[in-house]
């Protein structure tokens, strides 16, 4: 059983460019959440997708957008990249059994460097 997989593992982009990160959830999972982890900090919630809709969003600007496909895989898009967007981007998947009954599993992350 494959776990959560993310691609690419590393990426270097120039300020102002756009980037797309991809995530395939664990088999049987229907919910995908994205997190940003800056160096030396804990992951910060960006947004969550369920049934192809954005269900919840953290405190991130509209430059961050996403999508969930019918097979539950997901993309994170970031437009107009800033140096401060350099971080490890983590995808988590879960099978929604309601609050308090849902365990999240994480991929290995995509390390984005903006120069």
Which residues form the interface with other proteins (CB under 8 A)? Answer: 31, 33, 35, 37, 41-45, 48, 55-56, 88, 90, 92, 94, 96-109, 111
The minimum distance between CB 16 and other proteins, in angstroms, equals 26
CA pair distance 70, 49, nearest whole angstrom: 11
Sign of CA dihedral 115, 76, 65, 19: positive
Report yes or no: 31 and 96 within 8 Å, Cβ to Cβ: yes
* Shortest Å distance, C-beta 14 to other proteins: 23
Residue closer to other proteins (CB basis): 84 or 100: 100
């Amino acid at each position: 059983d494959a776990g959560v997989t993310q691609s690419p593992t590393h990426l270097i982009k120039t300020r102002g460019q756009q980037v797309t990160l991809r995530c395939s959830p664990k088999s049987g999972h229907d919910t995908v959440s994205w997190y940003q982890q800056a160096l030396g900090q804990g992951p910060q919630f960006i947004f969550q997708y369920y049934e192809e809709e954005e269900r919840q969003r953290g405190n991130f600007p509209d430059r961050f957008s996403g999508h969930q496909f019918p097979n539950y895989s997901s993309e994170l898009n970031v437009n107009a990249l800033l140096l401060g967007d350099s971080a490890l981007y983590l995808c988590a998947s879960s099978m929604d059994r309601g609050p308090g009954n849902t365990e999240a599993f994480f991929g290995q992350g995509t390390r984005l460097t903006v120069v």
